[in-house]
Structure 1
Amino acid sequence: MKIRSTIKHYTRWKKLKKELSTMKKFTALMLALMMSLSLVACGNKTDDGNNADDANTDNNTEQTGGTLVLGTSADYAPYEFMYADDSGTMQYAGIDISAGQYIADELGMELQVENMSFDYLLTSLAKGDFDIVMAAIEATPERLQSADFSDPYYTDLPAMILVKADAADQYNTLADFAGKSVGAQTATTKEAIVTDQMEGANLVSLSLVTDLVNELVYGKVDAIVVDGAVAEQYAEANPDLAIAPASSELGEAQPYCIAVAKGDPKGLLPGINEAIAKMTSENKMEEFIAAADELSGKAVEVTADAPAA
């Protein structure tokens, strides 16, 4: 009886062991199946992500929806400036701002304006802080090394020299500025005008045109060089300022373009150039100029009630 009982228990144990082995195999099979399903799911998610990236790339190319971030230096009326609306809220305005809004509308995007000093605009563009830069900017060989540019959208009057009205008749030729302090905005082509064309003049570079004008009004510089439309705005709004006759020697104006990051990584240029072509065919710039002139009067008024800081 004892032997039979032992054999019986052994038989049960062997059967149980076989069942456990089968369960282990089944469990392993189920785990393998679950892992396979998980990998498939992950694979599908990766594919979806790639598709989303592709969709984003397509959207960038077509430029439908989203926000177009425009970097500018809003101290350059009538191109870009700030004014107080009826509620006292400061708003961006100007020829470039209106043109930027037109282009954003054509691209089906919302326009967002970001303001900083001119000399940092292209650096910030390269870092991805903006999508475009519009700031009465010319596509010079030096700038083309760090950014790409659109087709031209506007050509201003030639650069002009702004001086105190009571001294304007002293500056009939560029040679008359020898030994004088002449201001220009930092990182602009106006610096090159002073150093290359106004022999003997002492260049004073400042980041903001408004600061340059104040320096002129308070007698800290003898003259400043700015774009023609800017000089005219300040001369018209401030009787104490005038355009020097020597301005006629400065040469022809260069067209303004829109800057994008080098290589156009967001695929903006084709749509921008199409919008510029349409804007030009519709003579929109005349409309933008008129609107800017109407608003910029107060933006360029300068008072000399207190000494400059």
Structure 2
Amino acid sequence: MKIHFVSRYYTRWNAQKGAFNMKKYIALTLALLMSLSLMACGSKTDNGSTDADGSGDQEGSNTLVLGTSADYAPFEFMYADESGTMQYAGIDISAAQYIADEMGKKLQIENMSFDYLLTSLAKGDYDIVMAAMEATPERLASADFSDPYYTDIPPMILVKADNAAQYATLADFDGKSVGAQAATTKETVVTDQLPGANLVSLSLVTDLVNELVYGKVDAVVLDGAVAQEYAETNPDLAIAPASSELGEAQPYCIAVAKGDPKGLLPAINEAIAKMQSENKLADFITAANELSGKAVDVSADDSAA
């Protein structure tokens, strides 16, 4: 099997005038830059909260910092509201907001490509990670996870609509280029269940789908709801019949730093239990589906207001 990884910033002074001393000029400039930097640090989330510190939750902090990869509608994505301002939305975003509210904290959202989320979590950049993430043995080695909060429908294979019928069985993907998001369990689906295919890994799902649309890959393996979303909003794409042969979906969990040094898991699990007892996820799914048609392609460096 071939595996391809595509990765993805003198002035001349008139001494006779003596109006400014160079050291004084530098000091004033630095002071101005520091002021501007502090003003720019506040990051406004989709729920209107702001925070001047991009680091993770500190003891006594009133902010819960969420790391996510906002390229995965209907779970996490970005859209432009009526004023043209970019906002975060999705099932995971709504669930994170609910949990933050239950914990008495403001939610701050940070966007990053999926394959770097757990590394940044371990460094303390975030308090939690929610990104339609399964608690696999490999991930459990570097992070701790909450109780499950949602289980999606089984994974599916997205293909071009005009040749979907030719993919009746998984064996029909032998020799084909099949995409999967880097560092996700969908890579494992390709290597384990489509062993004759050539895996193409990219950091962003939006890039993978573009590769499919333009014929650079033959198929993309995605979580079921995500694949359906693309098929329903793009008439040129469809679900391959062979998708029915793929395995069952695994539940999604919330990641925290290994050892839960900030003691977040008890409150998170309590909020998850309450969220499920109130059937809030049904509301979150409805809201996400209503907005997902407005989802825009973003890079991991983009952020909402």
Give the TM bin, normalised by the shorter chain.
0.7 to 0.9
- Structure 1 CA distance, aligned partners of 2:154 and 2:130? 18
Counterpart residue type for residue 288 of structure 2: A
SS at match of 1:96: helix
Q: Is this contact kept in 1: 2:167–2:240, CA < 8 A?
A: yes
2:122 pairs with 123, 126, 131, which one? 126
Report matched runs for 1:62-211 at 5 Å. 66-211=62-207
In 1, the alpha carbon distance for the partners of 2:235 and 2:247 equals 26
- TM-score between both structures, scaled by the size of structure 1: 0.76
Match of 2:295, SS? Answer: helix
The structure having more radius of gyration, on CA atoms, is 1
1:1-309 equivalences under 5 Å are 60=59, 66-299=62-295
2:232 and 2:127 map into 1 onto residues whose CA distance is 34
Matched residue of 2:216: which SS?
A: coil
Contact 1:125 1:260 in 2 (8 A): yes
How far off is 1:65 after superposition? 5.5
Specify which structure has the bigger relative contact order, considering alpha-carbon pairs within 8 angstroms and separated by 6 or more residues.
2
Q: Decide which structure has greater helix share.
A: 1
3-state SS in 1 of match to 2:131: coil
Deviations 1:43-102 (A, max 9, x none): xxxxxxxxxxxxxxxx95xxx761000000000000000000010000000000000000
Q: What is the CA–CA distance in structure 1 between the aligned matches of 2:84 and 2:203, rounded to whole Å?
A: 26
Q: Is the CA contact 1:77–1:300 (under 8 Å) kept in the aligned structure 2?
A: no
Q: What letter corresponds to residue 277 of structure 1 in structure 2? A: A
Shift of 1:199: 1.9
Which of structure 1's runs of 4+ aligned residues deviate more than 2 A? Answer: none
Secondary structure (helix, strand or coil) at the match of 1:137 reads coil
Superposition deviation, residue 300 in structure 1: 6.7
Size of the aligned set, in residue pairs, is 240
- Structure 2 residues without counterparts, runs of 5 or longer: 1-57, 298-305
Instruction: For residues 144-202 of structure 1, give each alpha carbon's deviation from its aligned partner in whole angstroms, at most 9, with x where no partner exists.
Output: 00000000000001000000001100001110000000000000000011111102100
2:153·2:225 contact (CA, 8 Å) conserved in 1? yes
Q: TM-score, normalised by structure 2?
A: 0.77
Sequence identity (%): 84
Q: Distance in 2 between matches of 1:178 and 1:209?
A: 22
Which residue of structure 1 aligns with residue 17 of structure 2?
A: none
> How far apart are 1:299 and its partner, in Å?
1.6
Uncovered stretches (5+) of structure 1, i.e. residues with no partner = 1-58, 302-309
How far apart, in 2, do the equivalents of 1:116 and 1:199 lie?
A: 30
Displacement of 1:131 after TM fit? 0.1
